[in-house]
Amino acid sequence: MTIKQLCDHLQIKPSLARSLLAAGMIPGQKRNRVWHIEESVLPRIEQAFQLLGHAPVPPIGEPTPKDRCPNCHQAHFGPSGGAGWGEFLECPQCRFSIHEHNLSSPGLVNKAVQDHRRLAK
């Protein structure tokens, strides 16, 4: 696995991946000036990122159960308790929120996720 593939999988920047590889925090080998990571270590890397509070973010558009956040797919997506035009749902981990009515439209959910990720950068 290359750095690009690792970064795409973990949703991290290449500079962070290179730093972690150079420090030995992610096991890998450098061959011909190119880092190579064994795919067998991915579960350990994912577990470490989850313990640090950074779970890999699934791609936009993947189907999500109604009780999971459409952005980070954590299972604690629920009512935010705010008053207004209706019930808003919010994820306490990534702070993504959306009106419950919009969950029935995949296009609106995908746009909201894209906007949230763009603003979070």
> pTM for the whole thing?
0.44
Q: At residue 55, does pLDDT exceed 70?
A: no
Rounded distance between C-alpha atoms, residue 18 and residue 63, angstroms = 32
Rounded distance between C-alpha atoms, residue 111 and residue 113, angstroms = 5
Helix, strand or coil for residue 36? strand
Tens of pLDDT, residue by residue over 1-17, are 889 988 888 878 888 88
Q: Which residue has the higher pLDDT, 19 or 103?
A: 19
